[in-house]
Structure 1
Amino acid sequence: MSEVEDKYTRETITSMRVWVPGKLFSFTCTRPTGFRFTAGQFARLGVDNTLQLPGEPEIIWRAYSMVSGPFDEHLEFFSIVVPEGAFTSHLSQLQVGSPVYIDKTNFGFLTTARFETGKDLWLLGSGTGLAPFLSILHDPHTWEQFENIVLVHSARTAEELVYQEMIKGFVEHPMLSELIENVEKRFVYVPVVTREKVPNCLGERITTLLEQGTLVEHTGLPMNVERSRFMICGNPEMVTDIRKVLKSKGYSPARRNTQGEIAVENYW
């Protein structure tokens, strides 16, 4: 068995979408046969080092959370363009039909399995940290596990509030509406823009919104240890700051052998 057959598969990009030129884009690719994952996990993606960057291997690898749901026929990923970044410099130049490599193993523990109890799920993300939460929202099990779900996505500018159609479409999703009752009453989307004033968007950092009780007031849902479960994904500073705020309010990390209310993923 070759290394490719043993450790990873060669897939094909089937669509590309630029959200913010030179900054944000997403793409879909074929899904490897037998590739399974839990909503919220990430995959290792590989691209050919066609630019022959010094110090980089023939295939450059990075971790990316799936946007797509566990039962989708394709895989979808959301990426930021890192200036002079070895991986995204290649990835952003790929086109439909270009190859991409997928490690056969899935990774990560940002899944709802971290929580054994709780009624309200708060998904707190910034930037491309939105990706795993979209996958989690695609999974019917999430809606069966929790009574209410709140998606809070923070971006610097309005144009960075991506995937609007998908987010608004969850309440109309045919599979969800068929399996789950009152989806439209159980889901709240809270867009946050911090660098400019935008109608119908909150304007403070998520930490401030938590500290001042703005999210509770805005959603009408209480926050307490019995009901509330939090998943956090974004840049390390954002994740650290939110964890500190939540810990100060009495919430604790959910670990493998310890029940808690907080699950996190640092997104780079």
Structure 2
Amino acid sequence: MWTTGKVIERIDWNEKLFSLRIKTDVEPFIAGQFIKLSQMRDDKRVARAYSLVNPPGCDYVEVLAVAVEDGQLSPDLKALNPGDSIEVTPKAAGFMTLDEVPKGALQGKHLWFFATGTAVGPFISMLATDEPWQRFEKVVLVYGVRLGEDLAYLDTIKQFIEQHPQQFVFIPIVTREDYPEGLSCRIPDGISSGLIEQKAGLGINAEHSQVMICGNPGMITDAQTALVEKGLVKNLRRAPGQITVEKYW
């Protein structure tokens, strides 16, 4: 179930937020899926799931994580440096993928990604593939954090803007300090008030929108409520809709 990977790069976004790039053998996966990382502690394996930030086809895996003081694994991950080893599951899993989003007449024209914190990872992976750009006329990434320094992968996001200037809209949301380039509301409040739609220059509705939400459970619950009020419904395999979600803990 486990294979040994070697850290080849660590990026520190701030004191707690970091990314690890790990050289390891992982089976082919779908953008948006996750793997598990683990270490042995006191003869007991401690494992946690992390979404893959890198797109399929890379010869490494990359994860975005935040070191939690009383976390069972994240402080150890934060201490890893290039050359250090970490155990990795060789097979990715999860259904937060574009494969789960309806196609054809039910698809709509606009794809919205709503993420908080490290949950932006799977959306970065998807945006680095061809699929969202081929399937949708507009792609919007709404990325909510507390402080501006918590926004990871801004250079990568800038590349998406440069590559797809007419197609991609990026809306950063920073709630605890001024951030001139973005909004300051919670994501659910921004949906309810229409601020996010106004910033994007697009409406959110059942006819034209597919929405994927990834982040903390409170945000997901409240965002779903706001979207349902706009006429969208949860996307299920047996009953296709417009809202696809994944809780990040």
Amino acid corresponding to residue 225 of structure 1 in structure 2: A
Cα RMSD for the two superposed structures = 1.3
Q: Is the aligned partner of 1:16 residue 2:18?
A: no
Give 1:250 deviation, angstroms. Answer: 1.4
| Secondary structure at 2:236 match in 1 | coil
Alignment of 1:13-162 (within 5 A): 13-21=7-15, 23-32=16-25, 35-49=27-41, 52=42, 57=44, 59-116=45-102, 117-162=107-152
CA contact (8 A) 1:47 1:91 kept: no
CA contact (8 A) 2:23 2:60 kept: yes
Residues 133-175 of structure 1: CA distance to partner in whole angstroms, max 9, x if unpaired?
Answer: 1001011112111111000001101111121101101244xxx
CA contact (8 A) 1:239 1:266 kept: yes
- TM (norm. structure 2) is 0.94
CA contact (8 A) 1:11 1:100 kept: yes
Amino acid corresponding to residue 230 of structure 1 in structure 2: V
Match of 2:165 among 164, 184, 192: 184
CA distance in 2, matches of 1:185, 1:68: 24
Matched with 1:3 is none
Amino acid corresponding to residue 221 of structure 2 in structure 1: T
CA distance in 1, matches of 2:127, 2:155: 13
Matched with 2:178 is 197
CA contact (8 A) 1:14 1:28 kept: yes
Give 1:90 deviation, angstroms. Answer: 1.2
Residues 206-261 of structure 1: CA distance to partner in whole angstroms, max 9, x if unpaired?
Answer: 11111111111111112211110111111111111111111122111111222110
Larger Rg: 1
Match of 1:251 among 209, 232, 236: 232
Instruction: List runs of 5+ in structure 1 lacking aligned partners.
Output: 1-6, 178-182
Amino acid corresponding to residue 168 of structure 1 in structure 2: K
| Secondary structure at 2:95 match in 1 | coil
CA distance in 2, matches of 1:161, 1:258: 35
CA distance in 2, matches of 1:90, 1:200: 34
Amino acid corresponding to residue 51 of structure 2 in structure 1: S
Give 1:118 deviation, angstroms. Answer: 1.8
CA distance in 1, matches of 2:161, 2:185: 26
CA distance in 1, matches of 2:205, 2:144: 22
Instruction: List runs of 5+ in structure 2 lacking aligned partners.
Output: none
CA distance in 2, matches of 1:144, 1:47: 39
Moved over 4 A (4+): none
